[in-house]
Amino acid sequence: MGQQSGKRLSRKERERREHRRLILEAAEELFARKGFHATSVQEIADEAEFSVGSLYNLFESKERLYHELIEMRADQYLRKLDQRLDEADGPVDKVRAAVRCKLDFFEEHRQFFHIFGNFVSGAESASPPMLSKRCLEIHGRIHRQLESVFEAGIREGIFADIDPVLAVLVLEGTTNAIIGEWIHTGARALESINPGTVEQILFHGLLDGTANE
Amino acid sequence: MGQQSGKRLSRKERERREHRRLILEAAEELFARKGFHATSVQEIADEAEFSVGSLYNLFESKERLYHELIEMRADQYLRKLDQRLDEADGPVDKVRAAVRCKLDFFEEHRQFFHIFGNFVSGAESASPPMLSKRCLEIHGRIHRQLESVFEAGIREGIFADIDPVLAVLVLEGTTNAIIGEWIHTGARALESINPGTVEQILFHGLLDGTANE
DNA sequence: GCTTATAATGAATGGAGGTTCATATTATGA
DNA sequence: TCATAATATGAACCTCCATTCATTATAAGC
State how far the Cα of B118 lies from the Cα of B130, in Å rounded to an integer.
Answer: 9
A44-70: pLDDT as tens digits: 999 999 999 999 999 999 999 999 999
The residue-averaged pLDDT of B27-31 equals: 96
A147-189: pLDDT as tens digits: 999 999 999 999 999 999 999 999 999 998 888 888 888 776 6
State how far the Cα of B96 lies from the Cα of B84, in Å rounded to an integer.
Answer: 10
Judged by CB atoms closer than 8 Å, whether chains meet at B206 and A202 is answered as yes
Angle (CA) A191-A194-A197 rounded to 5° is: 175
Side-chain half-sphere exposure of B93, counting CA atoms within 13 A: 7
Alpha-helical runs (H) found in A35-61? 41-48, 52-58
pLDDT at A120 over 70: no
Domains of chain A: 8-59 (1.10.10.60), 67-204 (1.10.357.10)
Q: In whole numbers, what is the pLDDT of chain A averaged over residues?
A: 87
Closest CA to B195 of B99, B126, B121, B123: B99
Phi, psi for B72 (deg, rounded to 5) = -55, -50
Q: Is B184 on the interface with A (CB under 8 A)?
A: yes
CA of A53 to C1' of C22 (A): 12
Cβ neighbours, 10 Å, residue B126: 27
Closest CA to A206 of B42, B193, B157: B157
State how far the Cα of A126 lies from the Cα of A130, in Å rounded to an integer.
Answer: 6
User: Identity (one letter) of the amino acid at A55?
Assistant: L
Q: Is B177 on the interface with A (CB under 8 A)?
A: yes
Q: Is the CB of B56 within 7 Å of strand C?
A: yes
Give me Rg for the CA atoms of chain A.
Answer: 20
pLDDT at A7: 59
Closest CA to B81 of B100, B65, B63: B100
pLDDT at A5 over 60: no
pLDDT at A130 over 90: no
- Three-state DSSP at B212 gives coil
pLDDT at B153 over 80: yes
pLDDT at A31: 93
State how far the Cα of A12 lies from the Cα of B189, in Å rounded to an integer.
Answer: 56
B65-95: pLDDT as tens digits: 999 999 999 999 999 999 999 999 999 999 9
Cβ(A42)–Cβ(A65) below 8 Å: no
State how far the Cα of B187 lies from the Cα of A181, in Å rounded to an integer.
Answer: 29
pLDDT at A124 over 80: no
Q: In whole numbers, what is the pLDDT of chain B averaged over residues?
A: 87
Distance from CA of B31 to the nearest CA of A (A): 8
**Nucleotide with C1' nearest the B60 CA:** D19
State how far the Cα of A74 lies from the Cα of A112, in Å rounded to an integer.
Answer: 10
pLDDT class of A94 with cuts at 50, 70, 90: very high
pLDDT at B57: 97
From chain A residues 127-166, the ones with a CB under 8 A of any chain B CB are 127-128, 150, 153, 157-163, 165-166
Nucleotides of chain C touched by protein CB (<7 A) = 6-11, 16-22, 28-29
Residues of chain B with Cβ-Cβ distance to A205 below 8 Å are: 160, 201-205
Distance from CA of A39 to the nearest CA of B (A): 9
**Phi/psi zone of residue B193: left (φ > 0), alpha (ψ -120 to 50 degrees), beta?**
beta
pLDDT at B7 over 70: no
pLDDT class of B212 with cuts at 50, 70, 90: very low
Distance from CA of B15 to the nearest CA of A (A): 32
Judged by CB atoms closer than 8 Å, whether chains meet at A208 and B158 is answered as yes
